[in-house]
């Protein structure tokens, strides 16, 4: 099956004082993947940037860099994209994966053995990163899903299910920099927290896991129209399996992403793939408004 979506992602800053210079980095262009392609992409920016560079970051994600020299008290960045997503309902079973200990061994450095490109890439996602630090408690939490000999993907599915059932979604409970140790202790958070917790748990075992940012189609109540701005940015996890490549898991919803998930970018954690981040000169206090709408083409 194939679905086609139109995504509108709007970010608006209102500053208390004039901003004289703004440098921004945007991860707002969808990845080209075997199950996904971007058919069209448009950026609307106010005020217009003085300079713009489109490139790729060190993880292979499309990246747009902006320099705005026009004095301003409001910054608007609106991205609109048409994306086609194909079903990736895998033909393999979760048990059709190596024991997790064998995967750890395959990823580990051994003198005299030259790792292949896929292993080198995966190793970037095996260690702690700015937003993902783990400790003994997180390792114990992870091992409850990874008994000796457990197939890697079966263990990942079990960990995903436990996070979904044992943690409560609470949009006001955490902030961007909330440590995952605190998320584990208090048992609530948002999709970003649950993704970071699952990633930290897997890395504590020596496995490779990366953070995926994107969009999730949220269905309105039966008989109700789709609400503009009701959707939001979403986050999930991708795990490296030597036999099947990168396999995605969504701990917030306890599903393996398929037609309803649109991939934007991936990195070590949220900090690598924030939709919009930058440095400004001036500005003072500010207000931020983010609106995201995901609409199937044809609605």
SS3 of residue 44 by DSSP = strand
Do 122 and 265 lie in one domain? The reply is yes
What is the Cα–Cα distance from 191 to 282, expressed in whole angstroms? 32
- The model's pLDDT over 65-92, given as tens digits with 9 standing for 90+, comes to 999 999 999 999 999 999 999 998 777 8
Do 81 and 117 lie in one domain? The reply is no
In a domain, 95, yes or no: no
218-247: average pLDDT: 84
Q: 107 is in which domain, residue-wise?
A: 100-273
In a domain, 242, yes or no: yes
Query: pLDDT value at position 127?
Result: 96
Tokens representing 175 are 């902030």
Work out whether strand 72-86 and strand 2-26 pair parallel, antiparallel, or are unpaired.
Answer: antiparallel
Q: What is the mean pLDDT of the chain?
A: 93
- The model's pLDDT over 15-49, given as tens digits with 9 standing for 90+, comes to 999 999 999 999 999 999 999 999 999 999 999 99
Element (H, E) at 68: strand 62-68
110 versus 213: which is more confidently predicted?
A: 213
Radius of gyration of the chain (CA): 20
Tokens representing 28 are 């707002």
How many separate domains does the chain show? 2
- For residue 130, the domain's CATH number is 3.10.620.30
- For residue 20, the domain's CATH number is 2.60.40.2250
Determine contact, residues 275/292, Cβ cutoff 8 Å. no
- The model's pLDDT over 143-155, given as tens digits with 9 standing for 90+, comes to 999 999 999 999 9
Residue 185 class from Cβ within 10 Å (0-12 exposed, 13-18 middle, 19+ buried)?
exposed
The predicted model scores a pTM of 0.94
pLDDT band, very low/low/confident/very high, at 174 (cuts 50, 70, 90): confident
Tell me the β-bridge partners of 212. 236, 266
Tokens representing 99 are 């024991």
Do 246 and 125 lie in one domain? The reply is yes
SS3 of residue 192 by DSSP = helix
Do 114 and 40 lie in one domain? The reply is no
pLDDT band, very low/low/confident/very high, at 228 (cuts 50, 70, 90): low
In a domain, 105, yes or no: yes
In a domain, 251, yes or no: yes
Do 113 and 257 lie in one domain? The reply is yes
Do 190 and 236 lie in one domain? The reply is yes
Do 75 and 136 lie in one domain? The reply is no
Do 191 and 240 lie in one domain? The reply is yes
Do 230 and 123 lie in one domain? The reply is yes
Query: pLDDT value at position 88?
Result: 84
In a domain, 94, yes or no: no
pLDDT band, very low/low/confident/very high, at 109 (cuts 50, 70, 90): confident
What is the Cα–Cα distance from 48 to 78, expressed in whole angstroms? 12
User: Which residue carries 């109700």 as its tokens?
Assistant: 224
pLDDT band, very low/low/confident/very high, at 160 (cuts 50, 70, 90): very high
Do 216 and 242 lie in one domain? The reply is yes
What is the Cα–Cα distance from 143 to 138, expressed in whole angstroms? 9
183-203: average pLDDT: 96
What is the Cα–Cα distance from 286 to 78, expressed in whole angstroms? 18
Do 156 and 210 lie in one domain? The reply is yes
In a domain, 91, yes or no: no
Do 281 and 180 lie in one domain? The reply is no
Query: Within a 10 A sphere around the Cβ of 99, how many other Cβ atoms?
Result: 16
């Amino acid at each position: 099956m194939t679905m086609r979506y139109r995504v509108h992602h709007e970010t608006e800053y209102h500053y208390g004082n004039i901003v004289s210079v703004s440098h921004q980095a945007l991860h707002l262009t969808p990845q080209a993947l075997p199950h996904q392609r971007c058919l069209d992409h448009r950026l609307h920016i106010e005020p217009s940037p003085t300079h713009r560079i489109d490139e790729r970051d060190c993880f292979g994600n499309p990246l747009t860099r902006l320099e705005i020299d026009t004095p301003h008290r409001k910054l608007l960045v609106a991205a609109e994209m048409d994306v086609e997503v194909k079903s990736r309902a895998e033909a393999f079973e979760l048990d059709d994966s190596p024991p997790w200990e064998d995967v750890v061994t395959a990823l580990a450095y051994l003198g005299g053995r030259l790792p292949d490109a896929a292993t080198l890439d995966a190793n970037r996602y095996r260690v702690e990163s700015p937003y993902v630090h783990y400790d003994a408690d997180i390792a114990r939490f992870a091992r409850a899903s990874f008994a000796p000999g457990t197939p890697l993907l079966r263990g990942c599915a079990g960990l995903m299910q436990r996070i979904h059932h044992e943690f409560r979604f609470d949009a006001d409970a955490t902030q961007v920099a909330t440590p995952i140790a605190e998320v584990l202790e208090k048992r609530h958070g948002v999709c970003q927290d649950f993704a970071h917790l699952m990633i930290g748990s897997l890395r504590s075992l020596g496995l490779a896991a990366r953070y995926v940012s994107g969009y999730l189609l949220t269905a309105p109540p039966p008989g109700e129209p789709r609400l503009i701005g009701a959707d939001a940015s979403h986050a999930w996890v991708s795990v490296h399996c030597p036999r099947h490549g990168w396999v995605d898991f969504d701990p917030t919803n306890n599903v393996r992403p398929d037609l309803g998930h649109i991939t934007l970018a991936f990195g070590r954690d949220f900090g690598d793939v924030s939709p919009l981040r930058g440095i400004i000169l001036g500005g003072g206090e500010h207000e931020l408004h983010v609106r995201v709408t995901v609409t199937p083409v044809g609605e």
